[in-house]
């Protein structure tokens, strides 16, 4: 079963909006075991949208049109699909009423244009989920199918998850279960991970199941992604468990978490479990560490706070970093204190060198780190490395 | 002149990487006055890449292939283009030598695979810019042309700017100058800006030059973008100046800067010009304000620092915010101090309400702001609104 994505909107071609929808849909299709070999972007032009959908229907079994379902005259996806189906576009009165009520309930006045969203090609079905005012469409054309979902990411995602993906799986006769797991790492370079996993990946290539891929993700570390395809949920879980075990055996302590567990989450959890608290003196990282920690709701019991300020000049880099950490320790009365100071141009250090300092239960740990990349990256790498320093000390203790 | 973008790489279809390259290229093409009506993503598959390039050549005058120029067996863009041109792929010995030397100079050992990057379809030219080890290609096919650039954004951009765009403009016989300017605003909603500019936009639609478009950009405010197409640089500048003047007249104080001038830049400059300094007590914004201010190099003369910590409970929200500001003022000895406190659930406030406080030269300004969106956005909107509060006070004084 093959499915093609057609993203519709002139603003996508002009680069005003980056087409993250197609990427997300591509990922969901892959996880559902549906092949996707082309993705096309096309502007708000009737002939060109029509040509794109017709070609997609020729080379694939299913087409997902994303965008062009809004209320304005530019939004013509419904009209084009009716043409491709060779049917009329008719107003659905029940849907029109529903849309009217949505506007009423929100206390907004509806422009008459909004009723265009209640139009439906004869024979097409509305998609059940409707988080906005634009209903999606499910249009069978012979053995094939065209879906239309809005370009608003939240609305698109709800329709994809609730209707499109299950419908595609039903049509493809797929009963297998595809599950993924992301093993999150920090402390090994991408090429080092490649080296360490290369044998295992070659072995897995023989069966193609499970698969391993990895990706550098800045402040979120390097992600190793496992995908398993099995007959049952239980079998998929077992396969992922086994593979995770293998990957952990190879990558060791570099593995800090799974899936959505960020380094911040992991460190805050480790600290909370030990009744410890955290504070920081952010000289080089300038508030990034604090903004990441406070992005997680309800962390202020464990994360006591941070000071963003220049460090006071010390006799050496190390003295300076330790003094900064002591200042934060006094200000916030925390059991773990972090500080990062840029080392470039001092004590003979080249660009990209940062001094990371952690005081954990009174014991000072200072490490000199060298990172590739510009200042933006250097600040991000410093944040995840500081937290990783704490993590490694806590799990070793 | 029409140009189509073909982005090559299976990881793009799988959603592992978001295709920001095509968006960027689309924007550059629009600014160069080159039409781009389709963009296609295709995996690392010979037949499908070939089909995509052939189709693009049928419906457009030029094709930019992005990706697939690396050293691995998956990287087959060169091979496919040779097939489309109907010529052989030959190793260029001068380029092979150049690549060898690049590796030598970086002290890295070169795998023999890297020499594949020196292969060139007979009749194709290498693109002059070469920031990495993968040379780009410029391949004339009759009256039409296929370019190949690497998927690494930095390398792609250098080749686009240095060779591809100038070559496309030469081919299109375009001598006109297209220039854009972004007018940056904060304080008016997107729909309010739409209302205010609608007449002017309708008027401009008649000639299509200049054009106005706007875009909500989170912490970067709402951007109003002007594009002018003229015979000379001077005329384009004059047209943009005149249009900027009109837009400023309509949007008034909401305009805070142009192009790359962020709200942080503008406020830091206003403060520096007055010999004033800034500090913050970041309760709700949790370090985001500081991380934005410190992202700009060398700001620590004006931005003295921030404390990230919970505010101490006060008799009222307002008392609490003022107390927080006073604390920061004492800690950092700054002439302007900012604080933001989430108001939800207190004093009858619903979700999305934030109390913003600024103490400017000893005078307290407190405003209650209500924003749409989730906590992530709320924190970002609070940061830009706090800075905007300072900006408006300073320019009014």
Query: Taking Cα atoms as reference points, which of A262, A207, A281 lies closest to residue A239?
Result: A207
3-state secondary structure of B121: strand
Q: Which tokens hold the place of A95?
A: 């849907």
* Predicted pLDDT at A128: 93
Query: Taking Cα atoms as reference points, which of B386, B322, B376, B387 lies closest to residue B352?
Result: B376
Do both A25 and A156 map to the same domain? yes
Query: Taking Cα atoms as reference points, which of A238, A42, A335 lies closest to residue B36?
Result: A42
Rounded to whole angstroms, how far apart are CA atoms B295 and B265?
Answer: 10
Final residue before a domain boundary, out of A238, A258, A278: A258
Q: H-type helices in chain A, by residue range? A: 10-13, 20-31, 46-59, 77-85, 93-105, 153-159, 165-171, 190-207, 233-251, 263-273, 288-295, 317-332, 375-396
- In this structure, the number of other CB atoms found within 10 A of the CB of residue A111 comes to 11
Tens digit of each residue's pLDDT (9 = 90 or more) over A247-299: 999 999 999 999 999 999 999 999 999 999 999 999 999 999 999 999 998 88
Do both A12 and A105 map to the same domain? yes
Do both B15 and B138 map to the same domain? yes
Q: Which tokens hold the place of B298?
A: 């060398």
Query: Taking Cα atoms as reference points, which of B281, B272, B274 lies closest to residue B382?
Result: B281
What is the domain-level CATH number for residue B63?
Answer: 3.40.980.10
Number of A–B residue contacts, CB under 8 Å:
166
The shortest C-alpha distance from A260 to chain B (Å) reads 16
Rounded to whole angstroms, how far apart are CA atoms B181 and B176?
Answer: 17
Tens digit of each residue's pLDDT (9 = 90 or more) over B80-92: 999 999 999 999 9
A289 CB-side CA count, 13 A: 36
Window B:332-371, CB contacts with A under 8 Å: 332
- pTM recorded for the entire structure: 0.84
* Predicted pLDDT at B3: 97
Q: H-type helices in B333-374, by residue range? A: none
Q: Which tokens hold the place of A391?
A: 């993590």
Do both A193 and A278 map to the same domain? no
Q: Give the residue ranges of chain A where pLDDT is below 50.
A: none
* Contact between A45 and B38 using a beta-carbon 8 Å cutoff: no
- Helix, strand, coil in percent for chain A, rounding step 5: 45, 25, 30
Best A9, A41, A55 residue to mutate vs chain B (most B CBs within 10 Å): A41
* Predicted pLDDT at A43: 94
Do both B163 and B275 map to the same domain? no
Rounded to whole angstroms, how far apart are CA atoms B389 and B94?
Answer: 60
Closest residue in B to A20 (Cα) is: B18
Q: Per DSSP, what are the bridge partners of residue B177?
A: B230
Q: Per DSSP, what are the bridge partners of residue A281?
A: A307, A339
3-state secondary structure of A258: strand
Final residue before a domain boundary, out of B171, B206, B228: B171
Q: H-type helices in chain B, by residue range? A: 10-13, 20-31, 46-59, 77-85, 93-105, 153-159, 165-171, 190-207, 233-251, 263-273, 288-295, 317-332, 375-396
Query: Taking Cα atoms as reference points, which of B120, B139, B132 lies closest to residue B62?
Result: B139
3-state secondary structure of B318: helix
Q: What is the DSSP letter of A113?
A: G
- B82-88: long-range contacts (C-beta < 8 A, 24 or more apart)? B82/B121, B82/B122, B83/B46, B83/B50, B84/B50, B84/B53, B84/B54, B84/B57, B84/B141, B84/B146, B85/B121, B85/B122, B85/B123, B85/B124, B85/B139, B85/B141, B85/B146, B87/B121, B87/B122, B87/B123, B88/B121, B88/B122
* Predicted pLDDT at B106: 76
Do both A35 and A57 map to the same domain? yes
Residue B348 near residue B385 (C-beta atoms within 8 A): no
Rounded to whole angstroms, how far apart are CA atoms A37 and A118?
Answer: 32
Q: Which tokens hold the place of B283?
A: 């309760």
Q: Give the residue ranges of chain B where pLDDT is below 50.
A: none
* Predicted pLDDT at B351: 80
Rounded to whole angstroms, how far apart are CA atoms A223 and A241?
Answer: 16
Do both B79 and B183 map to the same domain? no
Domain extent for A87: 3-171
Q: Which of B28, B36, B287 sits opposite A308 (nearest CB)?
A: B287
Closest residue in B to A298 (Cα) is: B310
- Number of domains, chain A: 3
* Contact between B293 and A305 using a beta-carbon 8 Å cutoff: no
* Contacts of A196 by beta carbon, 8 Å cutoff, 6+ apart: A188, A250, A251
Closest residue in A to B29 (Cα) is: A14
Residue B393 near residue B358 (C-beta atoms within 8 A): yes
Rounded to whole angstroms, how far apart are CA atoms B186 and B224?
Answer: 11
User: Taking CB atoms and an 8 Å cutoff, what residues of chain B touch A40?
Assistant: 38-41
Do both A345 and A375 map to the same domain? yes
Best B13, B60, B220, B380 residue to mutate vs chain A (most A CBs within 10 Å): B13
Q: Which tokens hold the place of A246?
A: 């293998």
What is the domain-level CATH number for residue A363?
Answer: 3.90.950.20
* Contact between B23 and A42 using a beta-carbon 8 Å cutoff: no
Interface contact A310, partner B, CB < 8 A: yes
Closest residue in B to A38 (Cα) is: B42
* Predicted pLDDT at A267: 97
Closest residue in B to A305 (Cα) is: B309
If 0-12 CB within 10 Å is exposed, 13-18 middle and 19+ buried, where does residue A262 land?
Answer: buried
Do both B18 and B140 map to the same domain? yes
Please report the sign of the dihedral spanned by the C-alpha atoms of residue A369, residue A373, residue A374, residue A378.
negative
Interface contact A290, partner B, CB < 8 A: yes
C-alpha distances out from residue B87 to A36, B37, B79, B108, Å: 30, 29, 10, 33
Sheet of B211-216, strands arranged across: B211-216, B222-230, B177-185, B255-258
Task: Say how far residue A373 (Cα) sits from the centre of its chain.
Answer: 22
Window B:206-235, CB contacts with A under 8 Å: 213, 215
A180: left (phi > 0), else alpha (psi -120 to 50), else beta?
beta
Q: Which tokens hold the place of A22?
A: 């197609």
* Contact between B213 and A16 using a beta-carbon 8 Å cutoff: yes
Lookup result for tokens 């041109």: B85
Tens digit of each residue's pLDDT (9 = 90 or more) over A139-198: 999 999 999 999 999 999 999 999 999 999 999 987 888 889 999 999 998 888 888 998
Q: Which helix (H) or strand (E) holds A367?
A: strand A363-370
3-state secondary structure of B344: coil
The shortest C-alpha distance from B363 to chain A (Å) reads 24
Do both A211 and A68 map to the same domain? no
Window A:371-390, CB contacts with B under 8 Å: 375-376, 379
Q: What is the DSSP letter of A29?
A: H
Q: Are strands A255-258 and A177-185 parallel, antiparallel or unpaired?
A: antiparallel
Final residue before a domain boundary, out of B122, B155, B171: B171
Closest residue in B to A376 (Cα) is: B295
Do both A231 and A267 map to the same domain? no
User: Taking CB atoms and an 8 Å cutoff, what residues of chain A touch B310?
Assistant: 300, 305
Q: What is the DSSP letter of B354?
A: E
* Contact between A26 and B15 using a beta-carbon 8 Å cutoff: yes
Do both B244 and B142 map to the same domain? no
What is the domain-level CATH number for residue A223?
Answer: 3.30.70.2860
* Predicted pLDDT at A176: 85
């Amino acid at each position: 079963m093959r499915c093609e994505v057609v993203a519709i909107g002139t603003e996508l071609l002009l680069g005003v909006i980056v087409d993250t929808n197609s990427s997300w849909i591509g990922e969901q299709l892959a996880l559902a075991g549906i092949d996707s070999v082309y993705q096309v972007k096309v502007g708000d032009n009737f002939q060109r949208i029509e040509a794109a959908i017709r070609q997609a229907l020729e080379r694939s079994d299913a087409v997902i049109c994303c965008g062009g379902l809004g209320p304005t005259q530019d939004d013509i996806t419904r009209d084009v699909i009716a043409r491709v189906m060779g049917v009329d576009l008719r107003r659905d009165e029940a849907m029109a009423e529903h849309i009217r009520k949505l506007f009423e309930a929100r206390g907004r006045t509806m422009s008459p244009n909004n009723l265009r969203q209640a139009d439906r090609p004869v024979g097409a079905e509305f998609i059940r989920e409707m988080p906005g005012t634009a209903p999606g469409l499910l249009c069978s054309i012979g053995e094939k199918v065209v879906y239309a979902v809005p370009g608003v990411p939240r609305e698109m995602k709800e329709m994809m998850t609730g209707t499109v993906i299950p419908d595609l799986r039903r049509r493809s006769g797929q009963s297998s279960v595809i599950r993924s797991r992301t093993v999150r790492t920090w402390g090994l370079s991408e090429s080092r991970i490649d080296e360490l996993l290369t044998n295992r990946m070659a072995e897995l290539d023989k069966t193609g199941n499970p698969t391993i891929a990895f990706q550098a993700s800045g402040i979120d570390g390097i992600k190793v992604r496992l995908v398993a395809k099995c007959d049952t949920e239980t079998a998929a879980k077992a396969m992922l468990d086994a593979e995770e075990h293998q990957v952990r055996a190879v990558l060791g302590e570099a593995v800090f978490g799974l899936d959505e567990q960020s380094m911040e989450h992991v460190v805050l959890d480790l600290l909370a479990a030990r009744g410890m608290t955290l504070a920081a003196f952010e000289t080089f990282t300038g508030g990034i560490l604090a903004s990441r920690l406070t992005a997680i709701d309800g962390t202020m019991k464990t994360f006591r706070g941070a000071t963003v300020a220049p460090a006071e000049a010390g006799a050496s880099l190390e003295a300076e970093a330790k003094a900064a950490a002591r200042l934060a320790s006094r200000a916030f009365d925390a059991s773990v204190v972090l500080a990062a100071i840029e080392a470039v141009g001092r004590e003979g250090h080249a660009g990209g060198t940062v001094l990371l300092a952690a005081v954990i239960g009174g014991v000072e740990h200072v490490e000199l780190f060298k990172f590739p990349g510009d200042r933006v990256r250097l600040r991000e790498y410093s944040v995840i490395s500081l937290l990783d320093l704490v993590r490694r000390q806590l799990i070793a203790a």
